[in-house]
Amino acid sequence: MPLDEVETIGAGTVEKLPVTKLTITPPRFERAAVLIRGTAPFMQHKFSQKAIDKIEETQRKGSTAKKGTKKEARVFEDDWKAAMHLSLDGRYGIPAAAFRSAMIDACRMAGFQMTRAKMSIFVEADTFDATDNCPLVYLSGEPDKDPKLMPVRNDSGVVDLRCRPIWSQWECVLRMRWDADQFSAVDVVNLLARAGVQVGVGEGRPFSKNSNGMGFGTWEVAE
């Protein structure tokens, strides 16, 4: 019997029905390494392990957490160091997901479905964070040696001070992987370039979820 026909038998009759064939192609991924170079300072804010430990301690104590406790003196230099992502081998890094998210956000401007991009574009990690195992891309460059205090307004409306590491000069090599049935290599590079101009990464980026940003964390495709 031909593969495109099926016999159904009933009440003494034989009927041949066409078969609908569904073909799913295997995944076809391509890869490339792309050098990006910062066009504005990059400011990082990792949620520190000290803050996590403090929250855990408070929650374990429950209703007795605030009884008789004293507020510790704040060491802003420690805040500065704790806000950095450091790899297992002691190098600086940026979460790989930050660049992937930026490219997915940039799809808004390119008219491509973000849900499809979410399943099609990936940034491979070079290493992992030494404390929380966050996948990282190596960050080339040194942070500015003069930590600066910046006033911010908390959700409660109270003004507070923050001390965050800033890289005035920085660059990264991104190891990209994408679904070649959805994007060409040129598409991926152009999308990465759009993300660098219109979205950015880190604190104060143009497409910040909480503000219009400070113009930080932008980049250009170098090669």
Predicted confidence (pLDDT) at residue 182 exceeds the cutoff of 70: yes
Predicted confidence (pLDDT) at residue 106 exceeds the cutoff of 70: yes
pLDDT of residue 125: 97
pLDDT of residue 64: 61
Percent of the chain whose pLDDT exceeds 70: 80
Q: Which residues contact 56 (CB under 8 A, 6 or more apart)?
A: none
Confidence of residue 18 (pLDDT cuts 50, 70, 90): confident
Q: Domain locations in the chain?
A: 30-51+75-221
Average pLDDT, the chain: 85
Question: Phi and psi (nearest 5°) for 3?
Answer: -70, -20
pLDDT of residue 118: 95
pLDDT of residue 57: 61
Q: Which of 36-40, 131-135, 159-163 has the highest mean pLDDT?
A: 36-40
Point out the least confidently predicted range of 15-29, 51-65, 133-147: 51-65
Predicted confidence (pLDDT) at residue 142 exceeds the cutoff of 70: yes
Predicted confidence (pLDDT) at residue 24 exceeds the cutoff of 50: yes
Q: Which residues contact 215 (CB under 8 A, 6 or more apart)?
A: 40, 204, 206
Distance of CA 17 to CAs 1, 21, 22, 122, Å? Answer: 12, 13, 16, 43
Amino acid at 129: D
Q: Virtual CA dihedral for 190, 194, 195, 198, nearest 10 degrees? A: 180
Percent of the chain whose pLDDT exceeds 90: 56
Tell me: the pLDDT tens digits for 209-223? 877 878 999 999 997
For residue 205, the 8-state DSSP code is -
pLDDT of residue 1: 47
pLDDT of residue 148: 79
Confidence of residue 6 (pLDDT cuts 50, 70, 90): very low
Structure tokens given for 149: 């205090």
For residue 64, the 8-state DSSP code is G
Per the CB < 8 A criterion, the answer to whether 79 and 123 are in contact is no
Structure tokens given for 100: 């992937």
pLDDT of residue 69: 64
Position with higher pLDDT, 48 vs 134: 134
Position with higher pLDDT, 167 vs 20: 167
The CA distance from 195 to 192, in Å, is 5
